[in-house]
Amino acid sequence: MKENEFRLEGLERFVTINDDRSVKIAHISVLYGNPYHLAQLLPKAFMNVINKHPKMRTIAYPHSTKVYTRDCLDYAEAGKLVATVDMDDWQDYVLQECEAPFQRTREIPFKLSLVIQSEKQSTLILFSDHYMSDGHSGLIILNDILENIRDECIPLYELKRTRSFFSSAFSNFTSKLLDNKLVDYAISGLAMKTFTSFKSCLPLISENDVNVDKVVPKSFGYFESGSFENLQQALNRCRQEETTLNAAVMILLAIAAGKISNQKEVIQLAFDIDYNMRGKVEGITKEDVGFNVAIGSLESFLKGLDVNEKFWDAAKRLRKESLIADKSLSQKLNQVYSHRNLHSLKTVPTPNDRCCINDLNLSNIGRYPFETVVGNYKIKNIWVYNNMPYLGPAFTFFLTSTENINYSCVSRVENTSGKKLFDYAVSLVENIHTLDSEITVKQVLGRLE
């Protein structure tokens, strides 16, 4: 291959199964500061940031797992990637825009929209194609843009393109597996069985009972913000109970799903969580833009969550389990199967239950890792959202935080039930601080009556 060419690997292949569809991520940030000055400088700052990160300039070859990095952009090209949009409701705009795929063989996988709301406030929306981006990538890019505007849009030093997360993390492991035809056959058979036999506990959208290869599955998206006080109290409460907010949210999301699916004694479901692998894998830096996420399965939920268990005991147990799932064999096999079988040169398996392969996914992006005040601009809120035009979870719950928690989701659950599930989850997380040491899962579930 040429020096600027490389191959998609692991889950990068899964999100590029179809050349005419994109798993499109939106990072939505509410900014305080002069929006007109921002609009004037955005094209140049965005150009500098794109030219800093080689993966932001990726172009795909048609019907191939091979891609290449194009030359640096000039100002005119960058200007076409930035739009100032006049609208009242950015939420509807985000949902509609995420359904319009990137043309991977012709355009780079990033663009910006700016919504001016007043003389002191705007909403900046970064859209990206998941195969070269993830939840954390958008935060890196947003910070780079604001810092470059603060620094009067000086050109930025181009970083070296890093290897894919799949290649960096699993090179030795996968080389042995991929050379073993018997193991490859076993992995493929197990994954195919999982896809075709899965039955969600949630009431799914009936229109999605179709072949995912031919019809884009329908979904809904919702957004909400929490309060600063509730976040601080939630963090303190989790520290008191010697667990994490992430673990507590896992239990609460399962409880909300249990309520929707009318599970009263044991809450049984398929639950995956996303892991940001930056800093955990050699060669993947904390400022690396790309798809650097692993997916782990929480096996205990398949066996069932006993509603008589104390809530905080369950949260402590899930904290330990999530650390194990981060390094589990199933997480590695997930990547291997995607690499071998879920890409544009293969036929996508059709799942049994309306394009869904599990019930829940938690994507906790975490706290914004940079300064929220950069130059003359302050970041008030950040949401993350992505569509799911292929196989995917019935319900994905996104969390980000600045001074407060920002909630969003993509749902394949029937609209009324999906909105209830989202509202239940938000309400439970916002009230974590009210859960005493002796409260059981059943008692928390009872709060949703």
Write down all domains in the chain, each with its CATH number in brackets.
5-150 (3.30.559.10), 195-446 (3.30.559.30)
- Read off the pLDDT of residues 171-221 as tens digits, 9 standing for 90 and up: 655 555 555 655 555 555 556 656 667 889 999 998 777 677 777 889 999
- Read off the pLDDT of residues 138-168 as tens digits, 9 standing for 90 and up: 999 999 999 999 999 999 999 999 888 777 7
Kindly state the tokens that stand for 254.
Answer: 């399962």
Q: Which residues lie closer than 8 Å to 337 by C-beta, 6 or more apart?
A: 187, 188, 191
pLDDT at 233: 97
- Read off the pLDDT of residues 364-405 as tens digits, 9 standing for 90 and up: 999 999 999 999 999 999 999 999 998 889 999 999 999 999
Instruction: Give CA–CA dist 188/61, Å, rounded.
Output: 26
From 106, 160, 159, 104, select the one nearest 132 (Cα to Cα): 104
What confidence category does residue 265 fall into, taking pLDDT thresholds of 50, 70 and 90?
very high
From 54, 33, 52, select the one nearest 44 (Cα to Cα): 52
Q: How many CB atoms are located within 10 Å of the residue 209 CB?
A: 13
What confidence category does residue 118 fall into, taking pLDDT thresholds of 50, 70 and 90?
very high
From 92, 409, 431, 98, select the one nearest 260 (Cα to Cα): 409
pLDDT at 150: 98
pLDDT at 108: 98
pLDDT at 213: 72
- Tell me the whole-structure pTM to 2 decimals: 0.94
- Read off the pLDDT of residues 3-40 as tens digits, 9 standing for 90 and up: 899 999 888 998 998 888 999 999 999 999 999 999 99
Report the chain's C-alpha Rg in angstroms.
21
pLDDT at 194: 60
Kindly state the tokens that stand for 89.
Answer: 């409701």
